[in-house]
Structure 1
């Protein structure tokens, strides 16, 4: 029996799960799993119901038909034993036995996905500043050859994907439902673009509805495929923190953009920084951490708020960032995000000691 059908069998049997499936494959091998008796499988699982279901489903013809049925919805499948299965995903303790995908399969195993990938995640209910920060950071990374990975959820995820597309880079969206379902429905436009030019992946077959309990599970895939994770606005108890915990367990670097101490949206990011996450507070941080180059865009139109901050810095060269919230009566969280944007578009420079000058 081909190994891909054993992967499918482990996927189908209730009560085994990804973690146990990998352990069975690593410890016993595909030959054993293809030929073991009921008693042998019962011995290693210690569960008669699971062993009985496993043996009853272990028919080549039955599994071939099951595999064909899973393809009918339009999504393609990579099994755990496939040579094209993402190497990064194989390294975690609980990789999905089946990975459903639509789009550019090459993104999963190219040199780029191995070396230059960043997950950008955050709240589904961001502030305007959070949206802008997610967009600007994602676009900057995308323009510098990074593949942006996120969960396609409303909010920070959406702006990360949009920015990657606008930056003419690659993006991978990891869904918590079947790939034939655009969830949230408001994302239909970028759903079509990602499906045609980039990549959707999911551990759930087509027609699987976006049940709430699917999303925490899919977060381990987001972090696994990424070299690092950037968090932009998150509650202290949220799916984003689950992604961070997966990332830390997988040995990934975690970055966070700080925000106002008065904002519930910033409690998660500020907590992460307190616990050791690497803060991103300026464009210099992005240059240092991600080895990027800045495209000068000095002619871009500034918002009224940006113009106000820029004019103040221009009139007060080498001003310390701590003076801005007080002198301009603007919260420190908003100042941090707008300062980052002004650096991104090449309007100001950061000096040593958190001081800034205009260009």
Structure 2
């Protein structure tokens, strides 16, 4: 049954106009994607967001695909991929509302990393970097690699290239998220770097082999960088920068964003300064960065987290209650029951409540205003 369902995750990924959010709605509506594949027009039309024009296109595209034959032919050029129902699909990525239904990979897989037991940090920034940006991208990436962090970036020219390269030179592990098929390297000058990353880390993409570079792919792949990362660090970014898209998406996913401050006279710093004005954490030095990272939510066992234990925050005096306060709205009760008297990570609250990231974020704010929940450093909450 599991192998059969994987076939339909792949099949739906090949239907134009059906993205990750609609796939999730299909899955929720029909219980599995095989049933969704065999559903009639009227049933698909009942799904929120699907209109007459879109359902006509979906049904026509679906009729052109034989799922079994697709898998056989597709696997020749794309032998390695995860679907969202695969147990090895990256846990952090699965938590975001727009997680790709199919994720292709090449390189060395770390199951501990996929399970969220290895800390991952995204490093992004402008392609037109300054000496200052290059120097700090390399310093930060080298430091974190030496401390056991996996560096996630986008293999683009500029900050991405420096982050990947410095990580590898420090003997660390890095993940490149690309906006092409895995058989195409963009920019072409990073051919050697991509090969080295595949030898010592992982290259991933939501696009099948043979997919060329396209302007629309790169903003889309930025959500995967943010989704794979516990924290996103922006080194340099002008006001119009793909790195800012990554930062905004990380924030939407409930992940922390750190920013390297720069001069107000530098165009490359204006996007970073804008992020700081919106509440991103400034990086005031390497020691300060390590202090910030020590408070991020952890997902592994204590033995797996010895490199960076969580800084213990004294618990405020709280009143433990066994049932929700009276007159609390049902959705607020649902989230409140997940939060305990011990620090609970935002990601765990989202997972256990089975609500969207945006919904949980809004509810937690309401619970804070009611005095029922308090936020701790590192996006952790407790009653």
Counting only pairs closer than 5 Å after superposition, residues 297-312 of structure 1 correspond to structure 2 as none
Counting only pairs closer than 5 Å after superposition, residues 247-262 of structure 1 correspond to structure 2 as 247-262=250-265
User: In structure 2, which of residues 281, 284, 309 is the aligned counterpart of residue 281 of structure 1?
Assistant: 284
CA contact (8 A) 2:112 2:118 kept: no
Q: State the distance in 2 between where 1:108 and 1:8 align.
A: 25
What corresponds to 2:192 in structure 1?
Answer: 189
Distance 1:235-1:284 versus aligned 2 partners, 3 A rule: same
What corresponds to 1:118 in structure 2?
Answer: 121
Does 1:40 pair with 2:27?
Answer: no
Counting only pairs closer than 5 Å after superposition, residues 107-186 of structure 1 correspond to structure 2 as 109-111=113-115, 113-186=116-189
User: In structure 1, which of residues 45, 48, 65 is the aligned counterpart of residue 69 of structure 2?
Assistant: 65
Shift of 1:68: 2.8
CA contact (8 A) 1:233 1:268 kept: yes
Does 1:231 pair with 2:234?
Answer: yes
Shift of 1:233: 0.6
CA contact (8 A) 1:179 1:200 kept: yes
Counting only pairs closer than 5 Å after superposition, residues 323-342 of structure 1 correspond to structure 2 as none
CA contact (8 A) 1:142 1:164 kept: yes
Shift of 1:128: 1.2
Q: State the distance in 2 between where 1:204 and 1:108 align.
A: 24
What corresponds to 1:56 in structure 2?
Answer: 63
CA contact (8 A) 1:84 1:109 kept: no
What corresponds to 2:19 in structure 1?
Answer: 17
What corresponds to 2:109 in structure 1?
Answer: 105
Shift of 1:42: 3.6
Shift of 1:232: 0.4
Q: State the distance in 1 between where 2:142 and 2:111 align.
A: 18
CA contact (8 A) 2:153 2:177 kept: yes
Shift of 1:54: 5.8
Deviating more after overlay: 43-52 vs 154-163: 43-52
Q: State the distance in 1 between where 2:185 and 2:286 align.
A: 34
Deviations 1:26-68, CA, capped at 9 Å, x for gaps: 232116325433432343344341352365256xxx2122223
Structure 1 unaligned residues grouped into runs of 5+: 294-359
Root-mean-square deviation (Å)? 2.0
Deviating more after overlay: 38-47 vs 157-166: 38-47
What corresponds to 1:8 in structure 2?
Answer: 10
CA contact (8 A) 1:85 1:109 kept: no
Shift of 1:164: 1.2
CA contact (8 A) 1:75 1:180 kept: no
Deviations 1:187-212, CA, capped at 9 Å, x for gaps: 12211111122100000011111111
Q: State the distance in 2 between where 1:12 and 1:283 align.
A: 44
What corresponds to 1:272 in structure 2?
Answer: 275
What corresponds to 2:367 in structure 1?
Answer: none
CA contact (8 A) 1:179 1:205 kept: yes
What corresponds to 1:243 in structure 2?
Answer: 246
Q: State the distance in 2 between where 1:34 and 1:13 align.
A: 11
Q: State the distance in 2 between where 1:200 and 1:75 align.
A: 14
CA contact (8 A) 1:75 1:206 kept: no
Deviations 1:202-236, CA, capped at 9 Å, x for gaps: 00011111111100000000000100011001011
Shift of 1:123: 0.3
What corresponds to 1:90 in structure 2?
Answer: 94
**Computing the radius of gyration over CA atoms, which structure comes out larger, 1 or 2?**
1
Q: State the distance in 1 between where 2:45 and 2:213 align.
A: 34
TM-score scaled to structure 1, two decimals? Answer: 0.76
- Counterpart secondary structure, 1:160: helix
Shift of 1:242: 0.4
Shift of 1:169: 1.4
Distance 1:73-1:92 versus aligned 2 partners, 3 A rule: same
- Counterpart secondary structure, 1:126: coil
- Counterpart secondary structure, 2:9: helix
Distance 1:109-1:38 versus aligned 2 partners, 3 A rule: farther
Q: Aligned pairs, how many?
A: 289
TM-score scaled to structure 2, two decimals? Answer: 0.71
Distance 1:210-1:108 versus aligned 2 partners, 3 A rule: farther
